[in-house]
Amino acid sequence: MTRRRDGLSRQAKLHTDLLRQMIRIRRFEEQCVELYSATKIRGFMHLCIGEEAVAAGVLHGLGPEDSVVSTYREHGHALARGVPMTAVMAEMYGRSTGCSRGRGGSMHLFDTAHRFFGGNAIVGGGLPVAAGLALADSMRGKPLVTACLFGDGAVAEGEFHETLNLAALWHLPVLFCCENNQYAMGTALRRSHAQTDLAMRAASYGMPAWPVDGMNAVAVAEATDRAVEAIRGGSGPCFLELRTYRFRAHSMYDPERYRDKAEVQRWKQHDPIPALAQRLLAEGSLTQDRLTELESEVDKEIAEAVSAAEAAPLEPAADLTRFVYSERT
């Protein structure tokens, strides 16, 4: 096992990076809840608290030239992809320094520099976009992967079946990542799908598909590495069913009357952040002092992002029609 100069093995370094990323995502969203309650953030906001292992694990396995297409529950995906926290927080505030110039808000994060293509408000809307990006890479002969993240609710949409069929038919380099958090908004999976094994559904289109423990960041990262390697090798699309759970309601406006509180508490016992932290502490790859230091670093990053967002300007009214109409040359 290769060891770094700081004494950590590459594996321990990877696992510590996954933990740090999950802490960043969790603390960022917890801060957003406070800001939302203070009406500093407006509009719809969907949190991925509980699902951080998916964002950290999947995005860690992609290269900088690969493409990422996400959903409206995408804060964690954007942060794990490398979109600066200052740009994400400014977007939450609706400021012009945001990654979408303050025009998209929570549901429409977008950053071409990091090849992060949304943030899509329409359920399943990102699937055909991902196929298009992958088709373009394929036609240009580029050995790149497009990762498409979506929820279990998208599996009931026509875009899901149409896109998987075309991706398999055209041998497109797409990694389909289904964040199966058991509920499509307020409807339990078992109440809307006759076949709840979503990996099996995807496999019917002739692509490799397998379920993954979505509450385990290491398992997600390993599954992603395996799938990405296969896709880069010319296997065509792969499908990961990432079985996870969101600890909070569907959105900030959701009264959450469709889930039993005891069920939520059972899932919280599988919280991916303390699970990985305890594992690293037990094996000696992480000390309590270093964990405290990581948390302090994250808190500082969040404080700086909030400060920068509050100081950032709104877009001027004169730019209201900018990017709306094409300008004649």
Whether the link from the prior residue into 50 is cis, omega within 30° of 0, is no
Quote the CA–CA distance of 277 and 295 in Å, as a whole number: 12
Structure confidence at residue 7 (pLDDT): 55
pTM for the model stands at 0.94
Confidence of residue 9 (pLDDT cuts 50, 70, 90): confident
Q: Which residues pair with 210 in a beta bridge?
A: 240
Are 85 and 93 contacting, i.e. CB atoms less than 8 angstroms apart? no
Residue 290's CATH number: 3.40.50.970
149 DSSP β-pair partners: 177
In a domain, 325, yes or no: no
pLDDT of 214: 98
Q: Reply yes or no on whether the pLDDT at 143 is more than 50.
A: yes
Give the H or E element holding residue 53: helix 52-60
Task: Give a yes or no: residue 132 inside a domain.
Answer: yes
Domain limits for position 128: 10-313
Q: What is the DSSP letter of 259?
A: S
Report how far Cα 207 is from the mean position of its chain's Cα atoms: 22
Total count of domains within the chain: 1
- 171-209 core/surface letters (b: 16 or more CB in 10 A; e: else): ebbbbbbbbbbbbbeeeebeeebeebebbebbbebebbb
pLDDT in tens, 38-78: 999 999 999 999 999 999 999 999 999 999 999 999 999 99
Angle at 54 between CA 15 and CA 85, to 5 degrees: 80
pLDDT of residue 22: 98
pLDDT number for residue 118: 86
pLDDT at 329 over 70: no
CA angle at 257 for the pair 252 and 261, rounded to the nearest 5°: 95
3-state secondary structure of 329: coil
What are residue 157's phi and psi, to 5 degrees? Answer: -90, 150
280 lies in a domain? Answer: yes
Pairing of strands 183-184, 187-188: antiparallel
The whole-chain average pLDDT of the chain stands at: 94
Name the band, by pLDDT with cuts 50, 70 and 90, for residue 319: confident
- Here the tokens at position 76 are 């964690």
Confidence bin at 328 (pLDDT 50/70/90): low
With cut-offs at 50, 70 and 90, classify the pLDDT of residue 3.
low
Q: Is the pLDDT of residue 213 over 80?
A: yes
Residue with token string 């990102």: 126
Give domain status of residue 126, yes or no: yes
pLDDT digits (tens, 9 = 90+) for 166-191: 999 999 999 999 999 999 988 999 99
pLDDT of residue 162 exceeding 90, the answer is yes
Query: Is residue 328, in this structure, part of any structural domain at all?
Result: no
Question: How much is the pLDDT for 1?
Answer: 47
- pLDDT digits over 86-100, tens only? 999 999 999 999 999
- 118 vs 152, higher pLDDT: 152
pLDDT score of 196 more than 50: yes
Q: Determine the distance from the C-alpha atom of residue 124 to the mean position of all C-alpha atoms in its chain, rounded to a whole number.
A: 15
| CA torsion angle 97 98 100 105 (round to 10) | -140
pLDDT at 138 over 60: yes
